[in-house]
Amino acid sequence: MSRSFGSPSRYIQRCGEIARLGEHLALLGKKPLFLIDGFLFHTLSTKIAAGLGEDVEARFEKFGGECSNQEIARVTVLVAEHGADVVVGVGGGKTLDTAKMAAHQNHARMMAVPTIASTDAPTSAVVVVYSPDGVLEMAHNLPRNPDLVLVDPELIVAAPVRFLVAGIGDALSTWFEARANIDAGTDNYISGGFPATQAARAIARHCHWVVMEQALKAKTAAEAGVVTTAVEDIIEANTLLSGLGFENCGVSAAHGIHDALTVVHDVHGMLHGEKVAFGVICLLVLENRPKAEIDEAIAFCQSLGLPTTLAGLQITEDVSAKVDQIAEAAVKGKITHATRATVGVREIRAAILTADALGRAAS
């Protein structure tokens, strides 16, 4: 009969909002440390600084490129040295995760300002840590979500469209993995883990509806460099709906296989959501879902350019040995078991190879 729900304190999405960042920051602190993605550091640090009040003592730092223990330790020290009362992460998911962890370790408040809509990291209290060369090592569930998530759609569409599409791949997993957890009776990630609320289930379902309805329209608009209602809806689905859905319902084998894929060097050039999209097809196969549902997911991914085969993930040599390696790594991860299906190396290997065969057949 128990249940729990977690979320960021505020979520604001509006074109031009990056210029109003100072107004929002004033409610959180006067001594911020900004951690900004390296590709955007010079442009955004200048723009943000121009909008801050004279009484704000800001420090700007460039993100090192990987959310590793080493980078987290470095930024944590910088936050302490500055005496920051709020940490503002500006960039992609790894930048924001590093900022979240550094804020937590310094008892500072946290603002997430995503510049791409490629993952649901901005809204969650989860921090995923990788090795310096990109292999997933661990995940932390922090006691608090960000205080504010500030999203400027104009920044999002200025980024390569591949990031938005990858976010759609990540959001596609939200309902399928929520359903897997509900069917298996596993707990979410709030306060040590509870069953999902009705609100969380509804959010996860609606996330799926938005993604299926708006994704192609949003991709077309983003390719034209414009913000439409479909783009706004997909940004919200990728960032907020997916974030609330996964954290409050749980993830499953789609993310478990994603995590396992990181042990294979071939895929290190692939984005998080691209790997998750292939993991979704594997999860549907693993759970023996209706073929019509699997076919729909494959067709949807292919219509957007998301990978549906091992070759699409750049795994083209020593395939059998690498699939064995991925399956073994996936079974070691707890989240892979959050499903009603039997999970073992043999079952995961079969799901991966079947998903690959179905993807190739549909191409």
**Looking at the annotation, which residues are catalytic?**
170, 255, 258, 272
Rg (CA), the chain: 20
* Among 150, 115, 156, 154, residue whose Cα is nearest residue 24: 150
Q: In 3-state terms, what secondary structure has residue 214?
A: helix
The answer to whether the beta carbons of residues 22 and 111 sit under 8 Å apart is no
Helix (H) or strand (E) holding 277: helix 272-286
CA nearest to 264, candidates 168, 354, 328, 344: 328
Q: Report the SS3 class of residue 60.
A: strand
User: Going edge to edge, which strands form the sheet with 32-36?
Assistant: 10-13, 148-151, 109-114, 86-91, 32-36, 59-62
Q: How far is CA 44 from the centre of its chain?
A: 22
Residue 58 tokens, joined: 């800001």
Cα 274 from chain centroid (whole Å): 11
194 CA to centre of own chain: 21
Tokens standing for residue 11: 């979520």
User: Token pair 């706004």 is at which residue?
Assistant: 232
Distances (CA, A) of 336 to 84, 97, 315: 38, 22, 21
Q: What tokens does 103 get? A: 């804020």
Element (H, E) at 91: strand 86-91
Q: Are strands 109-114 and 148-151 parallel, antiparallel or unpaired?
A: parallel
Distance CA 256, CA 330 (A): 5
Contact assessment for residue 118 and residue 271, using Cβ atoms and an 8 Å cutoff? yes
